[in-house]
Chains A and B, each alone.
Chain A
């Protein structure tokens, strides 16, 4: 059974750092495209970052230069290192697996975790 479990969220001051983790089971993270998606309280979904199966990372303009996506092959875990955090980064952060059954990795997200809450406030 495919499962994604996020952790690492919490309260951090503006300018601070946090590292989120997403532990996967039932599939191999490094063989899939994986993304982080966030949802500010009471707001909609927003794509944050993607890592290709080959390891190439890409970011939304709003987090470029501040966030870093990575993977640990042995732990089968996805990470999001968040630096220089701002109030507007406050959100529930989901990790999601890209569906790979249609020939394109941008078809959609077929599995999501339950999210980890990040609050940036002084």
Chain B
């Protein structure tokens, strides 16, 4: 149950697009289409942004999108806005009724 690998930080200017990667293994990300992404603002609970690799919860912003290639999943945020500044976490099913999170990525909007 090793944590998924995410970059510690990414940054972008308002209006730009950024991508956060989430690298796992053939035991988790590579084997299941059950990758989810969470946004967490300081002092707040995580919020589901993407589930099943590419799906967005109803009513949520379409500026957020997800994808996967092999053992790596990605979250892309387009049209970056100041309120997008937060920590982002990926999570994957890892088999045997277990889940594993990434280490988290701090997004800074310049």
Instruction: Please report A residues at the B interface, Cβ cutoff 8 Å.
Output: 35, 37, 44-47, 50, 52, 56, 58, 60-62, 94, 99, 102, 104, 106-110, 112-115
Task: Determine how close the nearest CB of chain A comes to the CB of B13; give it in whole angstroms.
Answer: 26
Q: How far is the CA of A110 from the CA of B52 in the complex (A)?
A: 12
Contact of A109 among B32, B48, B97, B98 (CB under 8 A): B48
**11 sampled A-B residue pairs with Cβ under 8 A:** A35-B99, A37-B46, A44-B103, A45-B38, A45-B89, A45-B91, A46-B101, A50-B98, A94-B45, A99-B57, A107-B52
Contact of A104 among B1, B52, B57, B96 (CB under 8 A): B52
Q: How far is the CA of A46 from the CA of B91 in the complex (A)?
A: 9
Which residues from chain B contact A58 at a C-beta distance below 8 Å? 96-98
A102–B51 touching, CB < 8 Å: yes
Which residues of chain B from 64 to 104 have a CB within 8 Å of any chain A CB? 89, 91, 93, 96-104
Which residues from chain B contact A107 at a C-beta distance below 8 Å? 34, 36, 51-52, 55
Task: Determine how close the nearest CB of chain B comes to the CB of A99; give it in whole angstroms.
Answer: 6
A112–B34 touching, CB < 8 Å: no
Which residues from chain B contact A113 at a C-beta distance below 8 Å? 45
Which residues from chain A contact B3 at a C-beta distance below 8 Å? 44, 46
Q: How far is the CA of A56 from the CA of B96 in the complex (A)?
A: 12
A106–B93 touching, CB < 8 Å: yes
B46–A47 touching, CB < 8 Å: no
Which residues from chain A contact B1 at a C-beta distance below 8 Å? 60-62
Contacts A114-B45, A115-B45 hold; do A108 and B51 have CB atoms under 8 A apart? Answer: yes
